[in-house]
Every structure is written in C-alpha cells, then in structure tokens.
Chains A and B, each alone.
Chain A
Amino acid sequence: MNTIVQVEGLLKTYGATVAVDEVSFDVQEGEIFGMVGPNGAGKTTTIECLEGLRKPDAGTIRVLGVDPQREVQTLRERTGMQLQQSNLPERMKVWEALDLYSSFYPKPADWKELLVQLGLEEKSDTPFAKLSGGQKQRLFIALALLPDPQLIFLDELTTGLDPQARHTIWDLVRDVRSKGKTILLTTHFMEEAERLCNRVAILDHGRIVALDTPVSLIRDLGAEERVVFSVDGGLPAEFEKPFTGAARVELRGEQVTVRGQNGRKVPLVSEVVGQLTKLGIPFRDLRTEQPTLEDVFLKLTGREIRE
C-alpha cells in the first residue's frame, strides 16, 4: 500500500480563529477516506490546503509525493477536484464543458466515455443552468475524472441532493474506487460516511477527535444498542429486574425500549426475549437498533447547534 496523502501538524488560522488545529493523518492508495464534522469543523479548509488552494500556516503536506504549495501544476494535472460552491457558465452545455476541460490536461481520459459512465448522455446538449442538482454533481465528478487522476477530492458531494440522486452518486463513487483510484471526501451525512468510506476522520473545532473504520468507530465508541418492542397489557415490574446497571428499561405508552451498553457477553436481544418468554408477556414488533456512526458522531461532538 502506498501512502497517497500525508498530513502532519497542519495548522490554518483566519485572524483569531483557528480553523485547522494541528491535524495529522494519511490516506492510503485505493481507499475512500472521509472527513466528517459539524459546520466550521475545518473539513473544507483541510481539503483546500491539500488541493493547494489555501496556504497552511504550519505543518507539512505531501500529496502524491509533492508539496501542494510548491508543485501546484503537477498536482492539478494528476488530481481531480470537485469543490463546494463552484459553477460553470450558465449557457455552457454538458459536452462543451467536458470537451473544454479535457483540453487543459496533457493526457485526458476520453470524455465521451465519461459521459456514458456518469449517465449524462441524454443531457449532453443541456446547458449547465438547466441541469438538476444531481446532474450537476455528476458532471463535476466527470470533470474531476478527466485528468485520469490517481487521487480525487470530493467536497460535500451530495449536499442538497434528494435520496435517489444521492444513492446514484454513491454507486458512482464506489465505481471510481473499484478502478483503483483513491478518494478523499468530506460530508456531513453520517450515513454517507458509514456506507462509503473505508476510514473516517471525525473533525471538531479544527481537530481530529476520532479516526478509524466506520465499524471500529461504532464498536469502540457506539454508546449503546437498543431493543424496542410493544406490549398490550402493560409491563410487570419484575420484567425490569435483570436489567440493572448496564441496561435501562423505558416505557412510553405501549412501547418499551431497553438500552444496553455495547459489547455485552450475552446479546441484549436474547436477554430481553428470554425474559419476555420466561414471564409469558405477549409482545409484538420487536426490533433491535444498532448504534450508527451518527450516534458516535453526536457522542463525540455534542448536540449543540453550530454556527
């Protein structure tokens, strides 16, 4: 495995605000590396420093082995970038944008193939302003793939898209990765990070507060698992007896929620079902809820609203 991106002690301040506070991480070849965090956590600033669009105040960055500030031309020829808040001229057509942008690179990919690959064939003659949000993002992915890059930056790719468009984009991103490319993305959808990324860095206040695979993050930091079911005739008090300490029982109307710490010896669900059977309590609609990356995220970054 080659290291594609190496970041050490990256520091970036705007006036008195520290946007990125000594962040270090690296990205391996062929992985989808995600950065998640609340608004203002420093995700975009970090990615823009890696792209050479912003100059860090301190720290070292190597992207594809080069310093983005010094060899910005090399970087732009060998990486694809999709930015938050960028546009094409309103009346530029899809094929024209691909044709124009491919003239910027020494060895561009075939844009006609990209058009097919990204499902934009039928929109080829459509002006940029007439595209839907999802189509625009697909075009931006196509533009990012034009240099036939080793590394692709995707900044807030699916923000503002409907669920269908988002799932299409996820499939496309997986497709790109399967062709051996490395992807570094930012998102504030935890589901996106969980489904798409091999490794996730959670940023808050300019620092990385956790970095691991989504599965490990959930296993190590996931607060609890839950078993939820409904009862008709109320719950006898003795049901709660075994669930003390590590587990809690909550009754809301007909619905009962049993919460338990993660990583128990006996799975919480068998304990609950065992107890229900033993006491002969009729129940229905029983389901378990696993902690998600979102739970981990909220546990780490708190619930107060940012910005």
Chain B
Amino acid sequence: MKSLLKMTWMETKLFLREPLGAFFTLAFPLMMLFLFGSIYGNEPTPMFGGYGTIDISVPAYTAMIIATSGLMSITITMAAYRENGVLRRLRTTPVSPLVVLVSQVIVVFAMTSLGMVLLIVAGKLVYHMRFEGNAWSVLGGFVLSSLSFFGLGFILASILRTARTAQIVGMVLLYPMLFLSGAGFPRELLPEAIKKVSTFLPLTYVVNLLRGLWIGQPWGDHLLDVGVLVGMLVLGIIISVKAFRWE
C-alpha cells in the first residue's frame, strides 16, 4: 500500500514534468474550447437539438482527453518504461507489477479528470454552459469510458516493442478517430458516409454516451455504448494483465 502511494505520487510528478503529455491533456482541449467558443459562441441552435456549441463541445472534448490519455499517455509511458529498462530495474525489487499498472491508471485518470474539470469551469464561467444531466451519471460514464480506453492503451503498450512505434501507432489511431468520432468537432457536421465509418470507432461510443448523459438522457438510451465500452474494458484488463512483460 505504501509503495502504491509513493509510486502514484512519483508518477504524478513525472506526468507534470513531461510538458507534452500535460499540454495535450490539460491545455489543448481548453484552447479548442476557447477557439470554437469565440467563433460560434454558445447560442442554442436547432442543429444541436436546441443546445449551443459549448454545451455539446464540453462532453465531446472530454472524450478527446480520454482518448489522448489512453492512446498517448499510457501507451507511450509504458512502452518507454519497458524499452528503457525502467521496468527491468523495478523487477529486481519485491514490488508487484500490479502496483506499476494501478499507479499508472490512478495518475492518468486523475489528470484526465482534471482536464474535464478545467473544461467545465471554463464552459460555466465564460460561456454559461447548460448542464441538464445527473452529475453522478456523467461521472459514471466518464469512469467507464476512461478505464476502457486506458485498457486499450495497455494492450498497445504490451504489443509494441519501442516507445517510438508506440507513439506512431498511438497517433495514427488517435487523430483520425478524433475527427471522425465527433470528439474533435460535432458529428452533426459530418456527411452521412463518414458517419457510417464512425460506428467502427470506439471513441464514437464515448462521445455518444457522454453527450447523452450530459443533457439528461437515461442510461437506457445508451445500452449499445455501454455494452461496447464494458466489452473493451474487460478485454483490456484480461489482455493487459496476461500480456504484461517486464522486458
């Protein structure tokens, strides 16, 4: 327990010392929010079902942070730790691999949450964002989405041999997904053909779930989203624990 606490605190410090990760998790989504907020404001429009751009962007950007955390932060950190022999060094101590995995999840989850909180605060203060959902439901959806994407990150990290390939594969998966799933900008703007493509992207289900819960839709409307994400989570846990390698 003591080592989990120490390790978590250490990883938190290391996360904040790495400018790139902190930028994409904490600063970049805020910049997007202010950019599109300054272009469109937050007036209700029929295209977004009577909500404003900011109202639908905050949950969508939260999905973006989740995807970045899972596919970039976790994948690159774990692959680099393995490649550089950081895990090899840890292996000579009595510490359990679970401590390594769990501390990583805690830290990245905390940073993802912080990113979401910053979006909400900015949305409220600057754009009078509307929120009609149940805070606990949204939190539940957020936890489920985060963990299932972190699972994806751990799977990639255990398959890919070097930090460099992990970074490239992570980016190749992440960027198209950000644009096609409705996380980067509203799916309402996409043509029909591309909307079809988006049904194959896991991030689409995160965006659907979070946007729905945000405006107070019941969980019952999102069984497919929940099913897909729970499936990913279970697979992620099984594969990342089974495939964990120290070196």
Q: Is the interface of B mostly helix, strand, loop or mixed?
A: helix
B92 lies within 8 A of A91 (CB):
no
**Pick from A83, A91, A96: contact of B88, CB under 8 Å:** A83
A103 CB–B CB distance under 8 Å? yes
Residues of B within 8 A of A143 (CB): 89
B49 CB–A CB distance under 8 Å? no
Contact with B along A82-93 (1 / 0, CB 8 A): 010111110110
Number of A residues whose C-beta is below 8 Å from B? 23
Residues of A within 8 A of B84 (CB): 87
* C-alpha spacing A96/B13, complex, angstroms: 10
* C-alpha spacing A100/B103, complex, angstroms: 13
CB-based nearest A residue for B13: A96
B94 lies within 8 A of A103 (CB):
no
Number of B residues whose C-beta is below 8 Å from A? 21
A51 CB–B CB distance under 8 Å? yes
A104 CB–B CB distance under 8 Å? yes
A101 CB–B CB distance under 8 Å? yes
* C-alpha spacing A86/B90, complex, angstroms: 9
B14 lies within 8 A of A92 (CB):
yes
A76 CB–B CB distance under 8 Å? yes
Contact with A along B1-37 (1 / 0, CB 8 A): 0110111001001100110000000000000000000
Residues of B within 8 A of A101 (CB): 93
B93 lies within 8 A of A86 (CB):
no
Whether A89 touches B14, Cβ cut-off 8 Å, given contacts A103-B2, A105-B94, is yes
**Pick from B2, B10, B92, B95: contact of A92, CB under 8 Å:** B10
CB distance from B22 to the nearest CB of A (A): 12
CB-based nearest B residue for A105: B94
B10 lies within 8 A of A96 (CB):
yes
Whether A83 touches B85, Cβ cut-off 8 Å, given contacts A91-B18, A96-B10, is yes
Residues of A within 8 A of B94 (CB): 73, 76-77, 104-105
B17 lies within 8 A of A104 (CB):
no
B81 CB–A CB distance under 8 Å? yes
**Pick from A76, A87, A96, A105: contact of B86, CB under 8 Å:** A87
* C-alpha spacing A277/B238, complex, angstroms: 85
B85 lies within 8 A of A104 (CB):
no
Residues of A within 8 A of B6 (CB): 99-100, 103
Contact with A along B66-107 (1 / 0, CB 8 A): 000000000000000100111011011111000000000000
A81 CB–B CB distance under 8 Å? yes
B89 lies within 8 A of A104 (CB):
no
A53 CB–B CB distance under 8 Å? yes
Residues of B within 8 A of A89 (CB): 14, 81, 86
Residues of A within 8 A of B92 (CB): 51, 53, 76, 81, 83, 86
CB-based nearest A residue for B94: A76
**Pick from B3, B18, B86: contact of A104, CB under 8 Å:** B3
Chain B residues within CB distance 8 Å of chain A? 2-3, 5-7, 10, 13-14, 17-18, 81, 84-86, 88-89, 91-95
